Amino acid sequence: MWDYSETVQDHFYNPRNAGAVEEANATGDVGSLSCGDALRLTLKVNAETDVIEEAGFQTFGCGSAIASSSALTEMIKGMTVDEALTVSNQEIADYLDGLPPEKMHCSVMGREALQAAVANYRGEVWSDDHEEGALICKCFAIDAVLIEETIRANKLTTVEEVAHYTKAGGGCASCHEGIEEILTMVMEEAGETFDPEAVAAPDVDTTPETLVAGTSGMAIMKRIKRIETIIESIRPQLQADRGDIELVEVMGDTIYVNMTGACSGCQMAAQTLGGVQQRLIEDLGEFVKVVPATELPVSKTSSAMAGA
Amino acid sequence: MKDVYLDNNATTMVDPSVVEAMLPYFTEQFGNPSSMHSFGNKVGFALKNARKQIQALLGAEHDSEIIFTSCGTESDSTAILSALKAQPERNEIITTVVEHPAVLSLCEHLEKDGYKVHYLKVNKKGQLDLEEYKSFLSDRVAVVSVMWANNETGTLFPVLEMAELANAAGVMFHSDAVQAVGKIPMNLKTSKIDMLSISGHKLHAPKGIGVLYLRRGVRFRPLLRGGHQERGRRAGTENAASIVALGKAAEMALENMQLENTRVKAMRDRLEQGILDSVSHCFTTSDVDNRLPNTCNIAFEFVEGEAILMLLNKEGIAASSGSACTSGSLEPSHVMRAMDIPYTAAHGSTRFSFSRYNTMEEVERVIAAVPPIIEKLRKLSPYWNENGPVEEPEKAFAPTYA
């Protein structure tokens, strides 16, 4: 059974704003190809102020589709149309205290219904701009279409590169067979052959030397300071679960951290690290990897000790 | 109130007397049956007894035709891969589109290795076309693998007849019978079935034990090589406690076979009729005159299965669904799709599967619980108005799919 949060269960068992809004002046009908669920969102928008006065949903779908619809209507009531459009699917998921990775597309469907309804209100035609494929990476909820397009656009040739660009396969590694299959297929289109032994193209800025050479010392300090501030802002959330995190080292695009308290040894630690990494990527505006400090390259003496 | 368990095609409760039979084999009877001392010897006798109990349930000619494995999936893989390995000049397989993933995923994988797989289609009632089957039989086919009963719908395939046809064409025949064994009588010695898979946990034995029936004389290549266990056909130290348990469960299944087709069937029929009478716009998705006595699959139109299961679960009722959202892979049931069930109904298909441990009181409880659940979900559905489906539902609500 899915691991649904209490909020998801509450919104499923006691859905808010179920049914069509009377005198609605905006309707959005969308469905999700990946699971077949579908949703109709109806809104009553004040034509003077653009404020959404009422929102209602009708959903043909699973528990999390119904909960996501319910959450969406609660979130956007009272917002202006423009404000509502800024609601991301991640925010819908956050409002529900998270969704299982397989079910993130339910929140995407909610956001798309909103876009479709707003387009309908404005007399525009909404067309969807993304395609969804079979879920490959369950740790980070990455689907086949995204992996395929990223491989094609960036001419990727190894599983490691795919993990760098999309995060897919960067967690538990169970999906590497699936990623290899996609690589084989896309590379064949380009007349190439996938070689599992191939080494990822060297990342220029992973070695500290080139980093120092390419960037001024001041810029490095500022960047580390920025990373520290972001990690500091994440700590209260982890502390609430009796865990904690500390910054240990920054080497190029790799950020080494220590998970302590309840986080250490927690089965969700990989997922938590993934979340921290996502946050850092968003705030820094660059790709970084967050890994446990235990993976820090060690000097010869200490590795000999560990082996003894 | 005790919860109602109607998901016996997923797994069953281990019968208390089965647990009792297996427990000594964890403690005082811990020996390795291969050992040359009394510790091992007694376990060896127990395994021999279990083999005979399973032979009796299957109606096999010899007890040496029973090979213990770790699960139904291992039995399926062993059978199909053995047939390919033993007949390298044959590179085709015949199976059906509605097989369990244990067979289907393996076949899809074998296609990547260059094997040609013929997938037999089914009609809207889930039946096979035997003419199509005959057209695929040739000396290029290494093995036919067809399930005895479908896990989702309970629909039975004419495996005895199909095995005869395969035999006449000189082709090996395997059947995944994990859902059928213990529910319908079998007499394999009079059949032309060469290999057959059983899974213990579907008939009140524990998880992690299975059987491959291998007719004497059928050419065989083991999947696991190593020790001499199972006469060298499946290496690995025997899972003695579970083998003893499966033997006991098989004996009990044989004793209770009559019950499956009387009491269990009556409960299933009462549930099905009760629901069909009290809920509009729903229908059974199986071949009703030709199915397992314990399985009922009803498609509720315009609502989704996972939502049904969550509300049933809240009422303490356990069932299963063919909906995409309950599958983990988000793939809608390949069985419902193969039967061409409309999406708005396949999505709400719900399976209730019984065992002899269910009671008629439980059935009445479920019949009372289902209508309000479907009504509640239909109120949320864009395909549904106050009291019925919107007119031309597929046109009135035609979402943009992304």
Residue ranges per domain, chain A? 6-121, 135-189, 205-300
Q: What is the dihedral of CA A70, A72, A75, A78, to 10 degrees?
A: -100
Q: How far is CA B315 from CA A155, B296, B319, B320, B348, in A?
A: 53, 19, 11, 14, 18
Q: What is the mean pLDDT of residues B109-129?
A: 96
Burial A123-134 (b: 16+ CB within 10 A, else e): eeebeeeeebbe
Which letter does DSSP use for residue B389 in this model? B
Of B69-73, B177-181, B395-399, the range with the lowest mean pLDDT is B395-399
pLDDT in tens, A15-36: 999 999 999 999 999 987 667 7
Burial B56-71 (b: 16+ CB within 10 A, else e): ebbebeeeebbbbbbb
- Measured between alpha carbons, how far is B271 from B360 in angstroms, rounded to an integer? 9
| Residue B111 pLDDT exceeds 80 | yes
Would you state the pLDDT for residue A236? 83
* pLDDT band at residue A135 under the 50/70/90 scheme: confident
Q: What angle do CA B236, B238, B239 make, to 5 degrees?
A: 120
A29 in B contact zone (CB under 8 Å): yes
* pLDDT band at residue A128 under the 50/70/90 scheme: confident
SS3 B211: strand
What CATH number does the domain located at B16-255 have?
A: 3.40.640.10
- Measured between alpha carbons, how far is A291 from A164 in angstroms, rounded to an integer? 13
Q: What is the mean pLDDT of chain B?
A: 95
| Residue B89 pLDDT exceeds 50 | yes
Of A77-81, A286-290, B44-48, B91-95, the range with the lowest mean pLDDT is A286-290
* Nearest to B146, CA basis, from B108, B109, B190, B103: B103
A110 in B contact zone (CB under 8 Å): no
| Residue A207 pLDDT exceeds 90 | no
Backbone torsion region of residue A16, taken as left when φ is above 0, otherwise alpha when ψ lies between -120 and 50, otherwise beta: beta
| Residue A96 pLDDT exceeds 90 | yes
Q: How far is CA B175 from CA B77, B94, B119, in A?
A: 12, 11, 15
Q: Where are the alpha helices (DSSP H) in B113-172?
A: 130-136, 159-168
Name the β-bridge partners of B175: B196
Would you state the pLDDT for residue A252? 79
- Measured between alpha carbons, how far is A61 from B248 in angstroms, rounded to an integer? 43
Whose tokens are 């699959």? That residue is B297
Query: Is B400 within 8 Å of A116 when comparing Cβ atoms?
Result: yes
Would you state the pLDDT for residue B99? 97
Contacts of A78 (CB under 8 A, 6+ apart): A51, A52, A53
Which letter does DSSP use for residue B231 in this model? G
More confident residue, B298 or A268: B298
At B369, give phi and psi (nearest 5°): -80, -30
Q: How many C-beta neighbours within 10 Å does residue A188 have?
A: 11
- Measured between alpha carbons, how far is A92 from A71 in angstroms, rounded to an integer? 7
What CATH number does the domain located at B257-388 have?
A: 3.90.1150.10
Backbone torsion region of residue B74, taken as left when φ is above 0, otherwise alpha when ψ lies between -120 and 50, otherwise beta: alpha
Concatenating the DSSP letter of every residue in A16-74 gives SSBSPPTT-SEEEEEE-TTT--EEEEEEEE-TTT-BEEEEEEEEES-HHHHHHHHHHHH
Q: Per CATH, is A135-189 categorized as 2.60.40?
A: no
Q: What is the mean pLDDT of chain A?
A: 84
- Measured between alpha carbons, how far is B287 from A83 in angstroms, rounded to an integer? 53
Query: Is A30 within 8 Å of B302 when comparing Cβ atoms?
Result: no
Would you state the pLDDT for residue A259? 84
* pLDDT band at residue A261 under the 50/70/90 scheme: confident
Q: What is the mean pLDDT of residues B227-237?
A: 96
Of A76-90, A197-211, B29-43, B186-200, the range with the lowest mean pLDDT is A197-211
- Measured between alpha carbons, how far is A152 from A256 in angstroms, rounded to an integer? 30
Q: Which CATH code of 3.30.300.130, 1.10.40.50, 3.90.930.12, 3.30.70.890 fits the domain covering A205-300?
A: 3.30.300.130
| Annotation says B325 is catalytic | yes
Contacts of A282 (CB under 8 A, 6+ apart): none
Q: What is the mean pLDDT of residues B117-122?
A: 98
More confident residue, A167 or A94: A94
A34 in B contact zone (CB under 8 Å): yes
Would you state the pLDDT for residue B71? 98
pTM comes to: 0.81
Whether A112 and A146 have beta carbons less than 8 Å apart is answered as: no
Residue among B307, B314, B330 minimizing CB distance to A34: B330
Query: Is A31 within 8 Å of B328 when comparing Cβ atoms?
Result: no
Q: What percent of chain B has pLDDT over 70?
A: 98
Interface test with B, best of A13, A22, A35 (most B CBs within 10 A): A35
Burial B99-136 (b: 16+ CB within 10 A, else e): bbebbbebbeebeeeebebbbbebeeebbbeeeebeeb
* Nearest to B396, CA basis, from B347, B322, B344: B344
- Measured between alpha carbons, how far is B397 from B157 in angstroms, rounded to an integer? 37
* pLDDT band at residue A306 under the 50/70/90 scheme: very low
Would you state the pLDDT for residue A130? 64
| Residues of A labelled as active-site residues | 35, 106
* pLDDT band at residue A296 under the 50/70/90 scheme: confident
> From B306, which residue of chain A is nearest by alpha-carbon distance?
A62
B396 in A contact zone (CB under 8 Å): no
Q: What is the ipTM of this complex?
A: 0.87
Q: What percent of chain B has pLDDT over 90?
A: 88
Which letter does DSSP use for residue B264 in this model? I
Q: What is the mean pLDDT of residues B194-212?
A: 98
Q: Which two structure tokens, joined as six digits, stand for B264? A: 């269990």
| Residue A304 pLDDT exceeds 60 | no
Q: Number of A:B CB contacts under 8 A?
A: 102
Would you state the pLDDT for residue A208? 42
Question: How far A231 CA lies from chain B's nearest CA (Å)?
Answer: 33
Would you state the pLDDT for residue A300? 37
Q: Which helix (H) or strand (E) holds B388?
A: none
Domain ranges of chain B: 16-255, 257-388
Residue among B311, B326, B399 minimizing CB distance to A38: B399
Would you state the pLDDT for residue B281? 95
Query: Is A59 within 8 Å of B323 when comparing Cβ atoms?
Result: no
Residue among B302, B400, B401 minimizing CB distance to A60: B302
Query: Is A36 within 8 Å of B399 when comparing Cβ atoms?
Result: no
Question: How far B309 CA lies from chain A's nearest CA (Å)?
Answer: 9
Query: Is A35 within 8 Å of B303 when comparing Cβ atoms?
Result: no
Q: Indicate the fold that domain A6-121 takes in CATH.
A: Sufe protein. Chain: A (3.90.1010)
Question: How far B229 CA lies from chain A's nearest CA (Å)?
Answer: 32
Q: How many C-beta neighbours within 10 Å does residue A10 have?
A: 17
Query: Is B330 within 8 Å of A135 when comparing Cβ atoms?
Result: yes
Which letter does DSSP use for residue B262 in this model? I
- Measured between alpha carbons, how far is A20 from B386 in angstroms, rounded to an integer? 11
Q: Which helix (H) or strand (E) holds B53?
A: helix B38-58
* pLDDT band at residue B232 under the 50/70/90 scheme: very high
pLDDT in tens, B317-369: 999 998 777 666 666 789 998 999 988 898 899 999 999 999 999 999 999 99
Which letter does DSSP use for residue B184 in this model? B
Q: How far is CA A122 from CA A25, A69, A125, B48, in A?
A: 10, 22, 9, 77
Q: How far is CA B377 from CA A85, A106, B138, in A?
A: 28, 17, 50
- Measured between alpha carbons, how far is A89 from A223 in angstroms, rounded to an integer? 29
* Nearest to A102, CA basis, from A165, A34, A148: A34
Tell the burial category of B334 from Cβ atoms under 10 Å away from its Cβ (0-12, 13-18, 19+).
middle
Residue among A65, A102, A132 minimizing CB distance to B402: A132
Residues of B whose CB is below 8 A from A128: 400, 402
Q: What is the mean pLDDT of residues A253-264?
A: 81
Angle between helices A159-166 and A176-189 (to 10 degrees): 100
Q: Which two structure tokens, joined as six digits, stand for B75? A: 């039995």
Backbone torsion region of residue A130, taken as left when φ is above 0, otherwise alpha when ψ lies between -120 and 50, otherwise beta: beta
- Measured between alpha carbons, how far is B359 from B361 in angstroms, rounded to an integer? 5
